[in-house]
C-alpha cells in the first residue's frame, strides 16, 4: 500500500428517493393477502400491493408493506 491510499472503507451515499421506496422482489414473491391468502399485485406507481380477491390495496411505506386490513384502501368499482 502506498502513502496515497486511504485505508478506510469507502462511504456509500445515502439512498436516493427512488431507492427508499423499493420493495425486495423476493419479499413480493412470498407475501399474500392476510384475509384471502391469495397472491398480490405490486403497483409501483402507487406504492401499493393489490389484493383483487379482497378488493383492497395495502400501502407500502418507506419500502415496507403494511399488511394490516385496517390500513388498506378499498378498491373502487
Distances in Å between the alpha carbon of 74 and those of 1, 17, 30, 49, 59?
61, 27, 22, 12, 11
CA torsion through residues 13, 16, 20, 23, sign:
negative
Looking at the domain covering 21-74, what would its CATH class be? mainly beta
Which set of grid coordinates corresponds to residue 58? 395495502
Which set of grid coordinates corresponds to residue 5? 491510499
- According to the model, what pLDDT value does residue 47 have? 97
Which set of grid coordinates corresponds to residue 6? 486511504
Q: What does the alpha-carbon distance between residue 77 and residue 64 come to, in Å, rounded to a whole number?
A: 27
Domain boundary assignment for the chain? 21-74
Would you give per-residue pLDDT tens digits along the chain (77 residues)?
A: 556 666 665 554 444 445 556 788 899 899 999 999 999 999 999 999 999 999 999 999 999 999 999 999 999 97
Amino acid at each position: 500500500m502506498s502513502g496515497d491510499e486511504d485505508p478506510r472503507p469507502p462511504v456509500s451515499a445515502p439512498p436516493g428517493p427512488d431507492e427508499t421506496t423499493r420493495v425486495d422482489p423476493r419479499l413480493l414473491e412470498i407475501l399474500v393477502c392476510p384475509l384471502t391468502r391469495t397472491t398480490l399485485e405490486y403497483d409501483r406507481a402507487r406504492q401499493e400491493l393489490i389484493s383483487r380477491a379482497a378488493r383492497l390495496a395495502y400501502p407500502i411505506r418507506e419500502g415496507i408493506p403494511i399488511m394490516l386490513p385496517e390500513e388498506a384502501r378499498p378498491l373502487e368499482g
